[in-house]
Structure 1
Amino acid sequence: MESPRNSKMSPLSAILFGSRWLQLPLYLGLIVAQLVYVIHFMVELTHLIARLPHLNEADIMLMVLGLIDVVMISNLLIMVIVGGYETFVSRLNLNGHPDEPDWLSHVNANLLKVKLAMSIIGISSIHLLKTFINVENLDDKTLIWQTVIHMAFIASAVSIAWIDRIMAHPDAQKH
């Protein structure tokens, strides 16, 4: 029996299968975006430390929430970079590396969508919390729309997870 590596593909199959490597520059670009977020985080942390004597508790909380927001977006980027590359381009071949994320061993496109949706909800939650802390400086329309958008993110994530569950377990529809 011939191994998969030695099997011959038709030229069209080789082109189609090889086209997945066109995503590599996209993932490398996201790594650059990750670096931009690291720099942004350091700049904001420096501002927090420099202004600390002149800040009240609410201002500190808003700035810390901004830092948390950057970290959560950075986590989202890592999930897309690592999970997307592993799912759509090529295996990372980590061979039991001690730092391998638990979720990476069973990542697929549907799981990645659910994780991304949950991350977006977390990021949206941070923005909404910042809005509520700064409520006296905003109008009601802004508060309502941010809440509606956040609820839409939640509804979308629940829908994605529910659809993923149905697709993974077709018998779950019967219960």
Structure 2
Amino acid sequence: MTQSPTPRHPSSKPAIERWLETGLFRARWLMAPFYVGLVVALAALVVVFFREAFVEFSHVMTMTPEGAILMVLSLIDLSLAGNLLLIVIFSGYENFVSKIDTGDHEDRPSWMGTVDFSGLKMKLIASIVAISAIALLKAFMKLAEGEQIDDRHLAWLVAIHVTFVVSGVLLAVMDLLTSKTDKH
């Protein structure tokens, strides 16, 4: 009968191994500037959102119904991009750098701290598909208003959207298959 090796106590590791592992673990903080940069990008997106809203609302009294729908779609598109950034910032930071300690704050999103890498992938692809669908819908709305849109441009929008949808389905199937296999 073979005995399984007894686990080594961390202090029994050679000093160089402990030093290397400590350094690798602390290296996760090199990701923090990326998330700070994404916060700056989110702030820039807020500025763009308000600029777009100001420009669009300035001629709301002369808008056609289709123009109003296009305005709303543009603003929704920007808010979805903001949501996407926020998901990446929170989930990425918590998964790869450190837990965000908000205590029991009532405004803490319920998904915070529970979205793993797989969940993050699915939220990202769902947001990208929604953004792509809005871009496609905006193009179709412009066509309905009588604007000319190049057939090639429209074909690219459809192809890109279908690619994102298929990618999302394949990622979901991969996650489903992975969840059904034994953990290694």
Q: Which moved more, 1:128-137 or 1:54-63?
A: 54-63
SS of the residue corresponding to residue 111 of structure 2 reads: helix
SS of the residue corresponding to residue 139 of structure 2 reads: helix
Matched with 1:106 is 114
Q: Say yes or no: does 1:161 pair with 2:172.
A: yes
Q: Say yes or no: does 1:47 pair with 2:58.
A: no
SS of the residue corresponding to residue 107 of structure 2 reads: coil
CA 1:24–1:105 in structure 2 vs 1: closer, same or farther (change >3 Å)? closer
Q: Say yes or no: does 1:92 pair with 2:100.
A: yes
Q: Say yes or no: does 1:24 pair with 2:62.
A: no
Q: Say yes or no: does 1:59 pair with 2:67.
A: yes
Alignment gaps of 5+ in structure 1: none
Moved over 4 A (4+): none
Q: Which has the higher helix share?
A: 1
Map Cα deviations across residues 46-98 of structure 1 (whole Å, 9 max, x no partner).
Answer: 11221112322222211211111000000000000001000010011233322
The percentage of counterpart residues that share the same residue type is 39
Q: Say yes or no: does 1:73 pair with 2:68.
A: no
1:169: Cα distance to partner?
A: 2.1
The structure with the largest alpha-carbon Rg is 2
Is the 8 Å Cα contact of residues 91 and 113 (structure 2) preserved in structure 1? no
Mapped to 1, the partners of 2:117 and 2:66 lie a distance apart of: 40
SS of the residue corresponding to residue 106 of structure 1 reads: coil
The amino acid of 2:153's aligned partner reads T
The amino acid of 1:54's aligned partner reads T
TM-score (norm 1): 0.88
Matched with 2:181 is 170
TM-score (norm 2): 0.84
1:99: Cα distance to partner?
A: 1.6
Root-mean-square deviation (CA, aligned residues, Å) is: 1.7
Is the 8 Å Cα contact of residues 45 and 78 (structure 2) preserved in structure 1? yes
Matched with 1:147 is 158
SS of the residue corresponding to residue 112 of structure 2 reads: helix
Alignment gaps of 5+ in structure 2: 1-9
